[in-house]
């Protein structure tokens, strides 16, 4: 029955950066019949859902783009160094319109399940609208940080005020004026939201479980001459970010932080601090992620910055990170974050010690035996990262296997793009690929192009299924772990380590390759050049 004609050649799930480009490539390059399902009512993915105050991109706008649309690279003008959520949404709407993508996207529709039929070699896909369609290929473009993590706080249903999760903020916004507001969480999202909310709220109380090493974003207008020069050099920029470690124009200092004099080190750190953005994190001394001693001298610099900014030494003490090495949790970029704790209307509660959240009450939050009253609670508590959105698809591969069972001890993938036992399923920026450790569009485009070439090759060679072999997958998983185990990353209770969700098996989720995204790209290309080594084609 392998010759049965499916409803679609490919079903793509999600219409963010990845789903849009996947649709464009399969439909306009290969001429396939494609259906995209998207739960939101328009395109955008992450940028559709994350509408919290202060939401903006942490990558510089000039590299947070669809590099596949060269004309648009020249035409589009970003208003600031880091675009806001509405601006990115406008950009993606524009992309969808320019390429007439919406006609193949069914909005307001969530994929609720899918089974691989071993008789027909087709995926049968179900949606919450009661549809059932078949497709040769199933492509998950569901994002890495899209499954909301709302901790199971006792009593939330009793709260008489309003509560929101940052990843599901109302479209019309929330007016915090004259309100008593709580923010739970101090990750990259909260670090953006807290200074904005503090400007409006009568009283803002921040419940912090883990303090973070933040560095300044230094947002602002970009010098038109710089923009002009970048536009003239886009081919060069695209080549460099594709070959780079993190999909950005940042490069480690090829020295140890310990081999240089204190003066030289301070000068280098000052330069990165003053430049703002990810330079401090991703263009620092090369041993920062490996050597505790090197990491410590850099962390010390950041601790001094916090003490110099926060007026009350007791508050500064609470804001100084403890228990994890610098850079092992995602770098939050801030605009007046530490300064916000100098405001009279802002209170910081240490939610690990005397302020541990016990329950949500009718009036607010009981923490450390004390009840705090609020009109609004904002949960900035993050995501069930990387594996969460894929598990939520309820897919059944060969023999009815599920990701829940296959991944009971953490993800098992081959190259982060394929899972053994799930033929013709591709996961864009899936677990154990560089994805979240890179500037996302760079990794997204690499996967989309690799998947497109793979499907094209299958058609040309008359193959109907491709799946990772269990052996290749085991080797990849071992390789991912071997590399990360050489670094300090595994020591942190980060979402990278799956440690933010109680009961989630502790495992490093992305892939930190020895040569970053550039090396990973080479590896994927080699696999293809060797006839899709590690895959079984039939
Ligand atoms: P996050 O980094 O996971 O932070 C969640 C926060 O909530 C943490 O402070 C966490 O504390 C706290 N938390 C979780 N459960 C809690 C509980 N039961 N009680 C008290 N506190 C609790 O999530 P996020 O800030 O949403 O960021 C997730 C990722 O999204 C980022 O790392 C980044 O990759 C991405 N992001 C990107 C941008 C951008 O580029 N524009 C902006 C924002 C976010 P612990 O640290 O102790 O777990």
State the Cα–Cα distance between residues 417 and 196, nearest whole angstrom.
Answer: 38
Mean pLDDT to the nearest integer, 129-153: 98
* Cα(500) to centroid(ligand 1), Å: 8
At 45 the three-state DSSP class reads coil
Question: Residue 210 CA: which ligand 1 atom is closest?
Answer: 47
Say which residue the tokens 């998947």 belong to.
451
Mean pLDDT to the nearest integer, 14-28: 98
Mean pLDDT to the nearest integer, 519-527: 98
Task: Write out the DSSP string of 268-304.
Answer: HHHHHHHH-TTHHHHSSBTTTTT-HHHHHHHHHHHHH
Asked if the model's pLDDT at residue 2 lies above 80, the reply is no
Q: How confident is the model at residue 442 (pLDDT cuts 50, 70, 90)?
A: very high
- Is the minimum distance from the CB of 351 to ligand 1 under 6 angstroms? yes
**Which pair of tokens denotes residue 474?**
């085991």
Phi, psi for 3 (deg, rounded to 5): -90, 0
Cα R_g (the chain), whole angstroms: 23
Q: What percent of the chain has pLDDT over 90?
A: 98
Q: How confident is the model at residue 353 (pLDDT cuts 50, 70, 90)?
A: confident
Choosing from 48, 168, 209 the residue with most ligand 1 atoms within 8 A of its CB, the one to mutate for a pocket test is: 209
- Taken in order 413, 58, 256, 306, the sign of the CA dihedral is negative
Pair 234, 70: CB distance under 8 Å? yes
* Cα(185) to centroid(ligand 1), Å: 6
Query: Exposure pattern of 268-305 as b/e (b: 16+ CB <10 Å)?
Result: bbeebbeebbbbbbbbbbbbbbebeebbebbbebbbeb
**Nearest Cα residue to 289 out of 443, 440, 512:** 512
pLDDT in tens, 466-490: 999 999 999 999 999 999 999 999 9
Mean pLDDT to the nearest integer, 94-116: 98
SS3 per-residue string spanning 125-192: EEECCCCEEEEEEEEECCCCCCCECCCCCCCHHHCCCEEEEHHHCCCCCCCCECCEEEEECCCHHHHH
* Cα(419) to centroid(ligand 1), Å: 27
Residue 26 carries which DSSP code? I
Asked if the model's pLDDT at residue 21 lies above 90, the reply is yes
Choosing from 46, 86, 185 the residue with most ligand 1 atoms within 8 A of its CB, the one to mutate for a pocket test is: 185
Pair 415, 476: CB distance under 8 Å? yes
Residue 491 carries which DSSP code? G
* Cα(213) to centroid(ligand 1), Å: 13
Mean pLDDT to the nearest integer, 80-85: 98
User: How open is the CA angle 24-9-394, to the nearest 5 degrees?
Assistant: 95
* Cα(464) to centroid(ligand 1), Å: 41
State the Cα–Cα distance between residues 284 and 488, nearest whole angstrom.
Answer: 15
Asked if the model's pLDDT at residue 1 lies above 50, the reply is no
Asked if the model's pLDDT at residue 4 lies above 80, the reply is no
Using left for φ > 0, alpha for ψ between -120 and 50, and beta otherwise, residue 204 falls in beta
* Cα(307) to centroid(ligand 1), Å: 23
Mean pLDDT to the nearest integer, 201-230: 98
Mean pLDDT to the nearest integer, 424-451: 98
Residue nearest to atom 35 of ligand 1 (CA): 188
* Cα(337) to centroid(ligand 1), Å: 15
State the Cα–Cα distance between residues 115 and 126, nearest whole angstrom.
Answer: 9
User: How open is the CA angle 440-444-446, to the nearest 5 degrees?
Assistant: 120
The pTM for the full model equals 0.98
pLDDT value of residue 355? 74
Q: How confident is the model at residue 3 (pLDDT cuts 50, 70, 90)?
A: low
Asked if the model's pLDDT at residue 458 lies above 60, the reply is yes
Burial class (CB in 10 A: 0-12, 13-18, 19+), 196: middle
Q: How confident is the model at residue 420 (pLDDT cuts 50, 70, 90)?
A: very high
- Taken in order 330, 211, 386, 101, the sign of the CA dihedral is negative
Question: Residue 186 CA: which ligand 1 atom is closest?
Answer: 9
Pair 193, 333: CB distance under 8 Å? no
- Is the minimum distance from the CB of 145 to ligand 1 under 6 angstroms? yes
**Which pair of tokens denotes residue 247?**
């999909």
Average confidence score pLDDT of the chain: 97
For the chain, the straight-line distance linking the first and the last C-alpha, in angstroms and rounded, comes to 14
Asked if the model's pLDDT at residue 524 lies above 70, the reply is yes
| Number of C-beta neighbours around residue 398 at 10 A | 12
Question: Residue 145 CA: which ligand 1 atom is closest?
Answer: 30
Asked if the model's pLDDT at residue 56 lies above 70, the reply is yes
**Which pair of tokens denotes residue 302?**
């950041």
* Cα(168) to centroid(ligand 1), Å: 14
Choosing from 147, 188, 205 the residue with most ligand 1 atoms within 8 A of its CB, the one to mutate for a pocket test is: 188
Q: Which residue has the higher pLDDT, 354 or 392?
A: 392
CA dist 196 → 192, 266, 391, 464 (Å):
7, 31, 34, 52
């Amino acid at each position: 029955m392998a010759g049965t004609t499916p409803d679609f050649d490919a079903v793509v799930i999600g219409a963010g950066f990845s789903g849009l480009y996947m649709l464009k490539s399969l439909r306009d390059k290969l001429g396939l019949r494609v259906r995209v399902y998207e739960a939101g009512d328009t395109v955008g993915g992450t940028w559709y859902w994350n509408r919290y105050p202060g939401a903006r991109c942490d990558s510089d706008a000039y590299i947070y783009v669809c590099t596949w649309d060269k004309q648009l690279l020249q035409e589009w003008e970003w208003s600031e160094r880091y675009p806001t959520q509405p601006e990115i949404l406008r950009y993606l709407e524009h992309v969808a319109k320019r390429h007439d993508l919406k006609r193949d996207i069914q909005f307001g529709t969530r994929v609720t399940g899918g089974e691989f039929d071993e008789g027909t070699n087709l995926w049968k896909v179900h949606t919450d609208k009661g549809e059932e369609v078949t497709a040769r290929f199933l492509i998950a473009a569901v994002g890495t940080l899209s499954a909301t993590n709302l901790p199971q706080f006792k009593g939330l249903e009793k709260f008489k005020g309003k509560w929101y999760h940052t990843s599901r903020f109302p479209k019309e916004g929330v007016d915090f004026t004259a309100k008593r507001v709580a923010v739970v969480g101090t990750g990259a999202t909260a670090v953006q939201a807290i200074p904005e909310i503090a400007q409006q709220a009568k009283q803002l109380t921040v419940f912090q479980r883990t303090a973070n090493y933040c560095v300044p974003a230094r947002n602002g207008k970009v010098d038109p001459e710089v923009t002009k020069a970048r536009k003239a050099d886009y081919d060069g920029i695209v080549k460099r970010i594709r070959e780079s470690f993190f999909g950005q124009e940042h490069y480690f200092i090829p020295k140890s932080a310990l081999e240089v004099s204190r003066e030289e080190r301070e000068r280098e750190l000052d330069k990165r601090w003053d430049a703002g953005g990810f330079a401090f994190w991703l263009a620092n001394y090369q041993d920062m992620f490996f050597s505790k001693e090197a990491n410590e001298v850099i962390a010390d610099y950041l601790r001094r910055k916090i003490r110099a900014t926060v007026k009350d030494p007791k508050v500064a003490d609470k804001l100084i990170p403890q228990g994890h090495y610098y850079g092992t949790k995602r770098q939050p970029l801030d605009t007046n974050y530490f300064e916000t704790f100098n405001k009279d209307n802002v209170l910081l509660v240490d939610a690990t010690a005397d302020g541990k959240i016990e329950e949500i009450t009718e009036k607010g939050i009981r923490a450390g035996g004390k009840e705090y009253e609020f009109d609004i609670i904002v949960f900035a508590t993050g995501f069930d990262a990387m594996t969460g959105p894929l598990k939520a698809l309820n897919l059944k591969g060969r023999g009815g296997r599920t990701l829940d069972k296959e991944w009971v001890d953490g993800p098992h993938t081959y190259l982060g793009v394929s899972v053994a036992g799930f033929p013709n399923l591709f996961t864009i920026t899936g677990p154990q690929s560089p994805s979240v450790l890179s500037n996302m569009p760079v990794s997204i485009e690499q996967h989309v192009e690799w998947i497109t070439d793979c499907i094209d090759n299958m058609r040309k060679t008359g193959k109907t299924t491709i799946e990772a072999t269990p052996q290749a997958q085991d080797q990849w998983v071992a390789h991912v772990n071997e590399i990360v185990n050489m670094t300090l990353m595994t020591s942190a209770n980060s979402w990278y380590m799956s440690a933010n969700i109680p009961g989630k098996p502790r495992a490093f989720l992305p892939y930190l390759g020895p040569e970053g995204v550039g090396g990973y790209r080479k590896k994927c290309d080699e696999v293809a050049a060797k006839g899709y080594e590690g895959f079984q084609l039939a």
